[in-house]
Copies of this chain bind each other. A is one copy, B any other.
Amino acid sequence: MTDQELGITESKEHNPGEWYAEVVQKAGLADYAPMGGFIVTRPRGYALWERLQDHLDGWFKETGVQNTYFPMFIPESYLEREKDIVDGFDPEVAWVTHGGHDELEERLAVRPTSESIITPFIAEWVRSYRDLPLRVNQWCSVVRWEATETKPFFRTKEFLWQEGHTAHATEESAWDETMTRLEQYERLYEEVMAIPGMTGRKPEHDKFPGADTTTTIEALMPDGKSVQAGTSHYLGTSFAEAFDIEYTDEDETKQTAHTTSWGLSWRALGALIMTHSDDQGLVIPPALAPTQVVVVPIWQADTEEAVKEYAADLAAELDEQFRVELDDRDERNPGFKFNEHELQGVPLRIEIGPNEVEDEAATLVHRPDGESDVAERESITDAVDEALETVYAKLYASAEATLEENIRKAHGRGEILGTLGQHGGYVKTGWCGDEACEAEIKDEIAAEIVMLPLDEDEPPVYDTCGVCGDEATETAYFAKSY
């Protein structure tokens, strides 16, 4: 392949869709599977998912969540039970109808989400208030048969996620749970992925089916669209009633439990790639990078031995504390290596040439912006630590600036449409609570209300609805979304 074929050829600014697909493939994150809607997650992509998992799973466990594994299939009759409370996922379900050569007596749904199989078991396991709160989670894949164009990590028929399901004695406890998980998602985005999130509620008509309240964390992509980055649902008592989660309280009285569910999918990887990467390829924060530091020795024949030895020694020292690769391949020149590591998103490159050897130094180059620093050899570990923190800070600051610049106020149908059309991003306006007012905007420009403030009592940004002019009850955030 030529260098041209190896590198990114599309422009993030002008062709964000094609650019994204190219970064995903050329950085070795994922390939398209033979069936439309499915992808193959390659080692570099899966390593990112594993690190996200490690962080989130650790926080879950610190806060009382236990992992489980439920069957990937759900009998049709179990999905039907849910119909008392929700419309369900029927149109999006993949159905197993045959086992071997025989037709099954009852069709099995490949799980689109697992409330209908997990909740009946929670009902079995809960007897007394002492069993509450009960919190289970599973990391698994789910399938939703949506007929849209495949976009790796953003839109795939099968996707990886975690789904947490909990039961509580009181509304207060269940609501705390809902918020705890939302905050953990926000922490994941901010601390690990270097993406500031906005937390809020979904409007009534866009809640998870059967939920009392759906909370969401939204992240703004550079193309001005919002990504629903994770959701946490307070389900009230509706699922507990449908599936009989009853417990005996301290006074020996039967009570109905309150439940929650919350999920975060590999869409987070999509948001990660989309937010930070550039026309040279993948950019990711150090906490997630499989290789955090690449050491590249640059030599001529007469300096080869000294440079390579110095570089190897430095890499070995850094290896104690960081994920380090020493790239001393003979068959590639430094320029090729730089391009490759930039494409693959290594956050920090250390260049070692004869000058560095002579000066007992090292040249540190930051991936996001090419800024370079010379560090002293003897304090290299501290210098790298600091450089990686700087890389994180740069990524976060850039994403934060984009977000802050792109939350605008507008009032009146024309102004809302004009602002969204010109800038994208979020437009805050007053809202009367009527879905019809959202529809007016949605029909025109495919933007919708992606969230409302978490605090229902927060006074609206305008006294009147930005669309119909009736009294506003809250602030709506309009945006185009993934």
A interface list, Cβ under 8 A from B: 31, 33-35, 38-43, 46-47, 49-50, 66-73, 75, 78, 90-101, 108, 110, 117, 121, 124, 136, 140-141, 143, 145, 157-158, 160
**Roughly how many angstroms separate A34 CA and B118 CA in the complex, as a whole number?**
11
Are B71 and A31 in contact, with the CB atoms below 8 A? Answer: no
Are A101 and B97 in contact, with the CB atoms below 8 A? Answer: no
| Chain B, Cβ-Cβ closest to A140 | B141
Other A-B pairs beyond A33-B70, A40-B121, 10, CB < 8 Å = A38-B71, A40-B68, A40-B117, A41-B69, A42-B68, A43-B67, A46-B67, A92-B100, A93-B100, A95-B98
- Checking B39, B47, B92, B97 against A97 with a beta-carbon cut-off of 8 angstroms, the contacting residue is B97
Q: Which 9 A-B pairs have CB atoms at the shortest separation, nearest pair first?
A: A43-B66, A99-B145, A41-B69, A95-B98, A38-B71, A91-B100, A97-B97, A100-B145, A33-B71
Give the chain B neighbours of A42 by CB distance below 8 A. 68
Are B34 and A75 in contact, with the CB atoms below 8 A? Answer: yes
Are A31 and B124 in contact, with the CB atoms below 8 A? Answer: yes
Task: Give, as a whole number of angstroms, the nearest-CB distance from A163 to chain B.
Answer: 14
**Roughly how many angstroms separate A433 CA and B235 CA in the complex, as a whole number?**
63
- Checking B33, B67, B72 against A158 with a beta-carbon cut-off of 8 angstroms, the contacting residue is B72
Give the chain B neighbours of A97 by CB distance below 8 A. 95-98
Are B78 and A34 in contact, with the CB atoms below 8 A? Answer: yes
**Roughly how many angstroms separate A111 CA and B372 CA in the complex, as a whole number?**
48
Given known contacts A34-B78, A40-B121, A69 and B46 CB-to-CB distance under 8 angstroms? yes
Given known contacts A40-B68, A46-B67, A95-B98, A35 and B73 CB-to-CB distance under 8 angstroms? yes
- Checking B38, B66, B93, B143 against A47 with a beta-carbon cut-off of 8 angstroms, the contacting residue is B66
Give the chain B neighbours of A101 by CB distance below 8 A. 90-91
Give the chain B neighbours of A35 by CB distance below 8 A. 71, 73, 75, 108
Most buried by B among A33, A71, A92: A71
| Chain B, Cβ-Cβ closest to A120 | B34
Give the chain B neighbours of A91 by CB distance below 8 A. 100-101
**Roughly how many angstroms separate A72 CA and B71 CA in the complex, as a whole number?**
14
- Checking B39, B41, B96, B117 against A95 with a beta-carbon cut-off of 8 angstroms, the contacting residue is B96
| Chain B, Cβ-Cβ closest to A34 | B75
Given known contacts A41-B69, A67-B50, A68-B42, A98 and B94 CB-to-CB distance under 8 angstroms? yes
Task: Give, as a whole number of angstroms, the nearest-CB distance from A219 to chain B.
Answer: 23
**Roughly how many angstroms separate A108 CA and B36 CA in the complex, as a whole number?**
12
Give the chain B neighbours of A47 by CB distance below 8 A. 66-67
**Roughly how many angstroms separate A158 CA and B69 CA in the complex, as a whole number?**
11
**Roughly how many angstroms separate A372 CA and B238 CA in the complex, as a whole number?**
51
**Roughly how many angstroms separate A124 CA and B110 CA in the complex, as a whole number?**
29
Are B158 and A73 in contact, with the CB atoms below 8 A? Answer: yes
Task: Give, as a whole number of angstroms, the nearest-CB distance from A184 to chain B.
Answer: 19
Give the chain B neighbours of A95 by CB distance below 8 A. 96-99
Task: Give, as a whole number of angstroms, the nearest-CB distance from A248 to chain B.
Answer: 13
Task: Give, as a whole number of angstroms, the nearest-CB distance from A125 to chain B.
Answer: 8
Give the chain B neighbours of A121 by CB distance below 8 A. 31, 40
**Roughly how many angstroms separate A71 CA and B47 CA in the complex, as a whole number?**
17
Task: Give, as a whole number of angstroms, the nearest-CB distance from A104 to chain B.
Answer: 9
Are A68 and B46 in contact, with the CB atoms below 8 A? Answer: yes
Are B68 and A43 in contact, with the CB atoms below 8 A? Answer: yes
- Checking B33, B34, B70, B110 against A40 with a beta-carbon cut-off of 8 angstroms, the contacting residue is B70
Give the chain B neighbours of A39 by CB distance below 8 A. 71
**Roughly how many angstroms separate A70 CA and B38 CA in the complex, as a whole number?**
9
Are A43 and B100 in contact, with the CB atoms below 8 A? Answer: no
**Roughly how many angstroms separate A70 CA and B32 CA in the complex, as a whole number?**
10
Give the chain B neighbours of A145 by CB distance below 8 A. 99-100
